[in-house]
Amino acid sequence: MKTSITPALAALFLAAAPAGFAAAAEGVPADYPLGTCIVLDSKLGAMGKPYAHIHKAEGRPGRTVYFCCKGCLPAFEKEPAKYLKKLDGAKK
């Protein structure tokens, strides 16, 4: 017997998922702690493929940060510490 999951059943499973669980958007690793843009808080993937940026700070390894679009990069670059704090807080 062949079975399949209907969209309604899939939505039910996602609604019942534990808090903090978010399906990864295309191109975003499943272990990335945010399901939203670090700048605009819009869902990653809602505006197409998320934009990945490797943030480099002197004396630290590069960190990949995901945005809903490339247009969010200038805001991040003005205040990276503010946004990285948000990313770090999501890991807890």
pLDDT of residue 86: 93
Record the pTM.
0.70
- Cβ contacts of 87 within 8 Å, gap of 6 or more: 33, 34, 38, 63, 65
pLDDT tens-digit series, residues 24-81: 688 899 999 999 999 999 999 988 999 999 999 899 899 999 999 999 999 999 999 9
Domain boundaries, the chain: 20-90
pLDDT of residue 13: 43
Which two three-digit tokens encode residue 36? 């939203």
- Cβ contacts of 32 within 8 Å, gap of 6 or more: 24, 64, 66
State how far the alpha carbon of 22 is from the alpha carbons of 19, 49, 84, 92, in Å.
8, 16, 19, 15
